[in-house]
Structures are given as C-alpha cells and as structure tokens.
Structure 1
Amino acid sequence: MKYTSLIIFTLVLNLFAFSADTIAQNSFVYGDPLPDAPELSPRGSYSVGVQTLQFTNKGQVNILKSKGGVDTLYDRSLTAEVWYPAIVPTGTVALVDYQDVMGTANDSKRPLIPFTFPGRSLRDAAPLRSEGSFPLLIVSHGYVGSRFLMTYLTENLASKGYIVVAIDHTESTFRDAAPFTSTLLNRAKDILFVLNETAELGKANSKHFLAGIVDDTNTGIIGYSMGGFGALNAAGAGYSEQLSRTFAAMTGGSKAIEGRTTASSQYASTVDSRIKAVVAFAPWGMERGAWNAEGLKGLTVPTFFVAGSQDDISGYEKGIKAIYLTATRAPRYLLTYENARHNIAPNPPPAEALQPGLPFDEYYRYAEPAWNERRINNINQHFVTAFLGVYLKKKDYQKYLNLPENSNEKGWTGFKGRSAVGLQLNHAVPE
C-alpha cells in the first residue's frame, strides 16, 4: 500500500512538472508570432542564452555636476544585457524572468513599480562555439527606458545568429532618470564604448564567455528615440553647431558635446568603420536642430528608419522623414506605420500597466492608439531581420525590402494575404 502510494505521488509530481513546463512553453512571451506575423518574424534556429555585463568608462565628463563651463569627471558605470546563440541542454526549457520597473526615478507622480515578465532565453547558458563568430548588434533604448525595453527583438535576433548587447544608459533609465543633458551627451559615447568593450571580450584569448564568438568587424546599431539619436551620431551623422549652442545654454557653458559635431576636427576620427548598418526607430532630434544637411552627409552606412506617421515626440515630416530625405549619401529605407505615434519600438505594455489608478502614461509608454503592439513587434522583427540579413549576413532577403511603396495598394512579399495594410516603405539609394 505504501509502495502504491509512493508511485501515485511520484506520478503526480512528474505530471505537475510536465504541465508547468508545457504551460511555460506555450504561454505568451513578448515577440511570439501572431497568426498574421510576416514570414521572417518567427525566431531562428539557434537557442538563446542571456547574461548581464558590467562596464566602467573611466574619466568621463559628469555633465550633471559641470558648472560655469568647467566640466568635472567621473567613472561612468554601465550595465548591459547580452543575448547570444547558446547550447541549451536536452530537457531544459529556455525561459528567463526579466526584472524591470515602470515609473520614473525622481518623479513623485510616477513612482517606480517593479514588474517581471518572461523571455525565451536561458540565463548563463553556455555559448555556441562550433559555428565561429556572429555579427555584433548594440541596442540603445529611449529616454527614459531600459535594456529590457525591446526583448521581443533582442531575443529574436540572437536566435538568428547575432550577438545582441542592450545598454542601460546611466542617468537615462526608469530607475535613475536624471536631467536630459546627460542623455544628449552620452548616447553616442556609450554606444561606441560598449562596442569597443564587447569587442575586447570577444577576442579569442579573452577568457570571457564571449571569447571567439563576436564579429565586431560586422556591427549593427539599433536605437529607439534617443537611442536612434545616438546611433546616427555614432555611425557618422555629426551634430549641428545649433545643438552645441543649445547644449551649452542648458549646462551653463559646457562645450563637452562639441567633439560630436560636424564642425569638430576630432569627430571624423570617432566614426567607427566596424559599424556596417543602423536601425533607427523614431530617432529624436531633427525638429530640435540636432542635425543639418552637412551633418547628415556623414551618414553613409545602410540605415533602416522606422516611424509612426503621427509621431508627436520626434516628429514625422520635419523629424524622422526629414532625416531620411536629407541623409542622401546612405542607402536607406523608411518604414512608416500609418497613424502610429512614437511607440513603434518597445515591448507591449506589461500587465501591471493595466491596473486602474496608475498614471495614464505608464500604459502609453508602451502602447499605440491605432495599432496592436504585438503586431508592430512582429512586423519589426520581419523587417529588421531582412535588413540586417542583407547588410550583415549577405542573405538573399532583398525581395522583402524591394516592395511597392504603399501596402494598401498591392500586397507585400512576406506578408499573408490581406495582412499588409497601413504601412509604407520608402527606399533611396546614395546620390
């Protein structure tokens, strides 16, 4: 009798364990394909590992403490998350819980609210080394934001054979939001610094878990909003003298940003030839005079812009589309979500953002009024896969980019029947 009871108890435990894994595998995770997801949206063939990295950029300008045109220095700490092709042991379910917060630090009206959401990666998994190195992608969030803001995309790209490093930009995250001047100064600098540091970790003799699997000579930058602002500058679009004057006025005379302007004799030497492609979601700055035609001439790498036609943060006609039209020396695309506003890049709103009584903006930091966010995520996965596939992996994906301009007038390759609506894709070659 005791033996029979033990068998029954063991079977129940095994059934519970199986059910828990099955539920975890089948439950919704950000980035999972909807039935109408475009062809390149689903994840690739690689299992995905994830780890946290810590970097320190020594001797940087502490613009928040600069006074009277005199800059002080500090060691700038940065946290990053890296996703990579990995080895997942047989029988192990690749799931992870990401810890993030809503709200904004130092804003009494928007207290920090912790939340957890799942991803399809395995924490600290062994990297896959048998296939050599993979192109490097650096991901930069908006102001404010976090390194977990676009996990639907970071995990997806790692599953397709990329090393994906997303930065928490110090003084620009939900947890430590500080005055905007730090974001203006540090975005491009953080991107370039993390690129360099990841390249060092990826050297064959580094003894780091990334050793030998990072192809930093084949790097892409992905930025959203202020991340797009920094990504374009890191890739060659020098800031204008107008931005430099505005920055000086905001900081009591600091000239710290001058080295990132087209007028600076130093700027050209900071443009990194390893950067081969840029994806800029709703890049901020054009409406505020961050660039002019001369500065945008410096952008020569292939660039994929993504925008909402009603963007009220970065602007569309005089903002994102104006950058696209003015950067005439770059092969470039502009994907437009008709009637979308600014939130065409992040994960969907977390469940906690749906609770009554929260500030409305906690929900609208993620959501779009005219679009399903999961649908946007799938479309982004599709086009970013196609674009980076062409320019970083030399894949034959051009058919997914050479499309009729208006999706309402003619079906688009890669989209299921009747599903390609409300989108525009423009394409321009260098002059």
Structure 2
Amino acid sequence: MKTVQSRKLLRTLFVMGLLLPTLVIAQKETSFVYGDALPDAPELSARGSYKVGVRTLEFVNKGQVDILNSKEGNDPLYDRPLTVEVWYPAAIETEGLISYDEVMGTNGDPNRPIIPFTFNGRATRDAAPVTSDGKFPLVVVSHGYVGSRYLMTYLTENLASKGYIVAAIDHTESTFKDAAPFQSTLLNRSKDILFVVNEMAAGKHFLSDQVDGDNTGIVGYSMGGYGVLNVAGAAYSEFAINFFKGMTGGSNALAVRGSASEEYQNSMDPRIKAVVAFAPWGMERGVWDAETLKGLKTPTLFVAGDQDDVSGYEKGIKAIYEGAVNADRYLLTYMDARHNVAPNPPPAEALQAGLHIDEYYRYAEPSWDQRRINNINQHFVTAFLGTHLKQKDYSKFLDIKEDSNEETWPGFVPRSSTGMELLHAVPE
C-alpha cells in the first residue's frame, strides 16, 4: 500500500515539477504589458524616470467642412468633435497597471463586427501632473485608417515617462468604432492634427502651464503619416486634389491643403520641430510629386517595412524619403516587414479561432515579433525626438552604419541588430 501511495506522490510531484514552470511563465506573461523591454531591447527603449498619468480630453473644431454630406460641390459645415488621450509626467510615488478599453473590427463591415476588449498599460488615470520641472515638449500622435488613440500606447506611455506630453487623437470617422467613407480621412487628417497641436500648445486645459508648445513633434502612422507630412510642408499634389474632387462629386475642399493655397502656406507652424512618419500612405497614389515634396523642410524620421503592400516601399515610402530633398531625414527600414511597423502587438482576443484574419493582421507583422519592433521604435524615436525637441546629443545612436548586419549598432545587445537599415540624408 505504501508503495502505491509513494508512486502516486512521485507522479504528483513530477507533474507539479512540469507545471510549476509553466505557471510561473504564465504569471510573468500577464505582468508583461505593451512596451515593456524584452531582454534584447536596445538601450533607449527603457522607460524614463517619470511616472505616467493619462487623461481623456474632448475638443471641438468648429465650422469644418462636412464632406460626407457634400453634394455637387456644395460643402456644408459642422462642428467636428475630437477625443484626445493625453499621457504626461505625473506627480505620483508608484505606478500601477491601467486597463484601456478598446475594440477590434470595423464599423459597418458585416464580416468584422465590433468586439470590445481591454489591455493593460503602465499609467495612472487622472493623476496630478508634475509641476516642479518646468515645461515638457509636446508630441501629437495620429493613428491609421482605421485605428484609435490607443493604437500605439507602447510609444505614448514610453515618451511620457521621458518627459514629454503626448496627445493621441481619435480621428472622428476614422476609428474602429465610427469608420466612415474614406474622403473624410483624406480631408480631415492634417486639419485634425493642426487643430490638436494648437489646442494643446496654446489652449486652456489641465496641462496648459506644463506644455512647451514651441518644441512640438508630430507622429503619424499610415494615414497618420499622410497627415503629419502635409502638416509639416508636403502639400497635396494637384492630382490628389482633382482625384478628391472626383470622388466627392465636385468638392474642392482638399485644395486648402495644396501648395497653391494661401491658407496652406499660412498654416506652416514653426513650433513643429520634428516629424515621425511610420509607413506613410499616399505616394504610390499620387498624393505628392517631386515639387510638393520639396516643401517638407522639418527634420523627419521615416519608418518602413521593405515589403509594405499598403503604402508601398520603393515607389512609396522610400520615394518620399528620397524626394524630400530639403529636409534632414532618416529612413529606418525593417527588412521583410510589411505595413504594421507602428502598432501595439495583437491583443489576445485577436488570436481566437473564427475571427477574420485581419483582426490579427491589423497589428501583427508576419516576419517580426511586434514587441521587438516596438522596442526598436522606442529607441530610435527617443533618439530622434530627443535631438530635435530636447537638444540632446544622440548622434551615436543615429549616425551609424547603414546596414545593421554589418556590425552591432550602438545601443543594441551584441549580435541583436539584424535585419534593418538606417539611411540618412541632409538637405540639398
């Protein structure tokens, strides 16, 4: 009898021995949130010294063209609401996890119904801001179509921890929840960004005394890239304006963002000192040409996958980089990556059987670990924005060998900087 009991005990201990490591790993996985550093994360991806607060603001941009109700060139006006999420240095001792409410799916698509989910970050809702360290540079973030203000929390939280005030926009009629016909995004993207820059830099809100609006950076992904490049001086081409007119039944509303527009020329904002454009959309579709790209003079970091099948690479993102001859610019390329070089990793809910594959591929890269891309983005965006918004010397992380396979890039763990390229060009 004792022998049987002993065998049962041994079997139990053996099974526990196998299961305990699994349980420990599972516990560790649940504590890992988007943006945390992997063991091989590059140096500047580490969070900064500030705890992070987060708050939701509601803005209204009055008197905007209601392009979805435009008829035969007659453009009615409406007051355009914008929800903005703001991350900032917080005056708190400890920082816990926050749960963000998000959805997947696409409004109006019967094959991709709206599915709510939550995910964790490292910030404290409505915490008091730091008021003792002077002002902090402003960063405004613009998501893709479709997307949301929570699409890049790995980056927004990270930058706030390093002493930035980061405002991410929910672009009305362009989010998962309220996606509408594309002409709204084409018209409103750059206008939304400009409006939020001004509201955050010069408006009245809870961080008015903490924002250094004279040192502003703008970050955009996909259609957000389309927007930030236009804000910074890359006017939309005549071809794009005429195409927009055709798709809207005669509206000339996009012309206000073209180079011939006095309103556009007057909208150039000297407070904007840096641009980060992840996989910017539009070049392959004629949104810019050689002449309009010359208007981009603000230092710009482009980030792309060389297999991007949404924005295009050689004739798309790289062509923008090469054509922006009047800007000091970098192009970070992930070899074998497609379009998703900017978002958070896929949520657990996107792994469920039976969901449309695009719920997963809204976030995931087929050849890269998304957490790895997130860490590398944190590293290079920190170096780039730190150079232009904080006047820090990060040249050792930016002035490096073009080919990451040639030698380990500075700031990277030995043997870890593979499969990337960093090009740099100065104004002609």
| Same fold per superposition (TM over 0.5) | yes
- Distance across 1 between alignment mates of 2:124 and 2:374: 21
Kindly provide the amino acid, as one letter, of the partner of residue 57 in structure 2: L
Q: Deviations over 1:163-210 (max 9, x none)?
A: 000000000000000000000000000000011111234xxxx4x320
The equivalences for 1:128-277 within 5 A come to: 128-201=130-203, 206=204, 208-277=205-274
- Distance across 1 between alignment mates of 2:190 and 2:402: 32
Q: Deviations over 1:308-365 (max 9, x none)?
A: 0000000000000000000000000000000000000000000000000000000000
Deviation at 1:25, TM superposition (A): 11
**Is the contact between residue 48 and residue 86 of structure 1 (CA under 8 Å) also seen in structure 2?**
yes
Aligned to 2:158, what secondary structure does the other structure show? helix
Residue 323 (str. 1) matches residue 323 (str. 2): no
Residue 372 (str. 1) matches residue 376 (str. 2): no
Aligned to 1:273, what secondary structure does the other structure show? coil
Residue 410 (str. 1) matches residue 412 (str. 2): no
**Is the contact between residue 61 and residue 195 of structure 2 (CA under 8 Å) also seen in structure 1?**
yes
Kindly provide the amino acid, as one letter, of the partner of residue 36 in structure 2: D
**Is the contact between residue 262 and residue 294 of structure 1 (CA under 8 Å) also seen in structure 2?**
no
Kindly provide the amino acid, as one letter, of the partner of residue 247 in structure 2: M
Deviation at 1:271, TM superposition (A): 1.1
Kindly provide the amino acid, as one letter, of the partner of residue 384 in structure 1: V
- Distance across 1 between alignment mates of 2:30 and 2:110: 39
Residue 381 (str. 1) matches residue 378 (str. 2): yes
Equivalent in 73, 76, 80 of residue 72 of structure 1: 76
Deviation at 1:24, TM superposition (A): 9.4
Deviation at 1:94, TM superposition (A): 2.7
Aligned to 1:77, what secondary structure does the other structure show? strand
Aligned to 1:258, what secondary structure does the other structure show? helix
Extract structure 1 runs of 4+ deviating beyond 3 A: 23-26
Aligned to 2:145, what secondary structure does the other structure show? coil
**Is the contact between residue 51 and residue 95 of structure 2 (CA under 8 Å) also seen in structure 1?**
no
Deviation at 1:263, TM superposition (A): 2.1
**Is the contact between residue 88 and residue 129 of structure 2 (CA under 8 Å) also seen in structure 1?**
yes
Kindly provide the amino acid, as one letter, of the partner of residue 179 in structure 1: P
Kindly provide the amino acid, as one letter, of the partner of residue 123 in structure 1: R
Deviation at 1:116, TM superposition (A): 0.3
Q: Deviations over 1:349-389 (max 9, x none)?
A: 00000000000000000000000000000000000000001
**Is the contact between residue 277 and residue 300 of structure 2 (CA under 8 Å) also seen in structure 1?**
yes
CA RMSD of aligned residues (A): 1.2
Which residue in the other structure is 1:94 paired with?
96
Residue 34 (str. 1) matches residue 38 (str. 2): yes
Which residue in the other structure is 1:430 paired with?
427
Which residue in the other structure is 1:357 paired with?
354
Which residue in the other structure is 1:58 paired with?
62
What's the TM-score once normalised by structure 2's chain length? Answer: 0.93
Deviation at 1:411, TM superposition (A): 1.6
Aligned to 1:363, what secondary structure does the other structure show? helix
Equivalent in 87, 106, 115 of residue 108 of structure 2: 106
- Distance across 2 between alignment mates of 1:218 and 1:38: 26
- Distance across 1 between alignment mates of 2:156 and 2:421: 24
Distance change >3 Å, CA 354–CA 26, structure 1 → 2:
closer
Q: Deviations over 1:397-420 (max 9, x none)?
A: 111000111011122111110100
Equivalent in 345, 349, 357 of residue 348 of structure 1: 345
**Is the contact between residue 200 and residue 208 of structure 2 (CA under 8 Å) also seen in structure 1?**
no
- Distance across 2 between alignment mates of 1:333 and 1:244: 28
Between Structure 1 and Structure 2, how many residues are aligned?
402
Distance change >3 Å, CA 117–CA 24, structure 1 → 2:
farther
What's the TM-score once normalised by structure 1's chain length? Answer: 0.92
Distance change >3 Å, CA 410–CA 25, structure 1 → 2:
closer
Aligned to 1:231, what secondary structure does the other structure show? helix
- Distance across 1 between alignment mates of 2:100 and 2:336: 31
- Distance across 1 between alignment mates of 2:118 and 2:330: 35
Kindly provide the amino acid, as one letter, of the partner of residue 342 in structure 1: H
Q: Deviations over 1:74-96 (max 9, x none)?
A: 110000100000011x4x44321
- Distance across 1 between alignment mates of 2:282 and 2:95: 42
Kindly provide the amino acid, as one letter, of the partner of residue 420 in structure 2: L
Which residue in the other structure is 1:5 paired with?
none
Deviation at 1:211, TM superposition (A): 2.6
